[in-house]
Chains A and B, each alone.
Chain A
Amino acid sequence: MKKIELEWVFYFIKESLPYLSVTAQYVFFSLIFGTVIGSVIAKAKMSKSKIANFLASFYITIVRCTPSIVLLFLVYFGVPALLRDTSFGAWLNTLPTIIFVIVTYSIFIGASISEVIRGAFQVVSKGQREAGLAVGMNEFQTFASIILPQMVKAAIPNIGNTIIFLFKEGALAYTIGLHDVLGRAYFMSGRTMNVHALSMYVALTLIYWPISLLLEKLFKTISEKMQYVHVETVKETELAKEVKAA
């Protein structure tokens, strides 16, 4: 019978926690490259070219209809198998596993990030771009100082969700043998014939829960901090409340 043994829970936490850095690596790099892919797709989707439009929609549809584990296997096993006889294929086989994880999740979240970017872009009215041009700034200056900051603000809650998604979903990388938090825990559990598996799951919960909650809280705070409000007026209203209360 399986039971939760506290010392084994601690053992698994102690063993897996250092591998949080691996998890952080693929979250970070997938987010960066996913944003790059997402920007390109969003740009294509908003362009007037019908071909670009079609390709972008095609990409989004395909990726959305593929479970992330399938994509992971296709990238990790499929691509090297397809290119087996080429030098590129041989080179692929020498790469560390985490590269495949990053590629997979960049492709995967690129689709959703493109929609986030498109939505954020539409938040900023066309008129503000024209106003930027009207005061003598060029397109780039207008984008950098007016449009981008407002887009970032609008996108932050969604970016936060994407990071939490990557943090949890990335755990699937254990299936191709990556030692991240979950992979390491599974590995150690295997060494003890999975006798203490339940303790391992409790340990994982104790790692994933607080971090996810913390991330969620963090992004909520950031987006609240980014309201464009005159600081003094906030103080004034608070003061007014206090005066009323007294």
Chain B
Amino acid sequence: MLKVENVHKSFGKNQVLKGVSFDVEKGDVVAILGSSGSGKTTLLRCLEFFEKADDGRIELGELKTDLKGAHKSVANQFRQHTGFVFQNYNLFNNKTALDNVKLGLIKGHGVDKKKADELARKALDKVGLSDRLDYYPSELSGGQQQRIGIARAVAFEPDVIFMDEPTSALDPELVGEVLETIKKLAENGITMVIVTHEISFARDVATKVIYMDEGVIVEQGTSLEIFSRPKQERTRQFLSRFLADYDYVI
């Protein structure tokens, strides 16, 4: 359903992505893992057209385009079918929780106001924030803000949701509620591509795992393949740092 081919991106002389390709099927939860600076976030930002890739193609359902030089209207078409969850939530500070979710539905998707209100309430209910509809972002905790961010991305029922390190900016005690929310989406069959540092979460929830290093995909496969039988030495090293507790049994 989502097909990404040969994405290249440089910032000045620094080559961040050196030809990245992968496929996502409907219902997949893809976790992109990798240490800082491996290009994971840049990849996601290129797919949402926030960064202009130097080369590469993207196909999403019926839509297809070269990433390089894609016109604004093409970018907008793709964005109509994708949701994006930001590391720093990026909620609209001048809007209440409910309006944060409604705005995109009304203006971005042309849903009429009554229907938008209904959909927005439903989305906020899904993330457990029905009692915070009239609150502004500044009055909510990081975890609550991120759950609104997720509701905002889910509300218009996109084909795929991109999540860029959705829990990295949160205090440790708030990570759980957000991961729980994402897990629920996964159980409901929502297609997601998640850049994350939560390795054990990826192991539990992801159907597919991509391990990136220095701008290339080192290894990709099902969750089971990557976590139990990684083929590449680099993958094994990376995972062993996080999953050390599985190496020994006491």
Contacts and interface: CB of A to CB of B under 8 A. Distances in A.
A232 interface: yes
Contacts of A88: none
Contact of A135 (B88, B108, B139): B108
Interface residues of B, number: 36
Contacts of A149: 94
Interface in B64-90: 72, 75-76, 79-80, 82-84, 86, 88, 90
Contacts of B72: 138-139
B22 interface: no
A132 B84 CA distance: 10
A93 to B, nearest CB: 48
Nearest to A229: B136
Chain A: interface size category: 20 to 34
Given A145-B107, A228-B138, A230-B135, A135 B90 contact: no
B139 A230 contact: yes
Contacts of A141: 107-108
Interface in A119-153: 124-125, 127-128, 130-139, 141, 145-146, 149-150, 153
B92 A130 contact: no
A130 B93 contact: no
A138 B50 CA distance: 13
Nearest to B73: A138
A124 B93 CA distance: 9
A49 interface: no
Contacts of A131: 84, 86, 90-92, 149, 152
| Most interface-central of A127, A131, A232 (chain B CB within 10 A) | A131
A128 B137 CA distance: 12
A94 interface: no
A231 B133 CA distance: 12
Contact of A127 (B86, B134, B139): B86
A131 to B, nearest CB: 4
A129 to B, nearest CB: 9
A134 B93 CA distance: 16
Interface of A: 124-125, 127-128, 130-139, 141, 145-146, 149-150, 153, 228-233
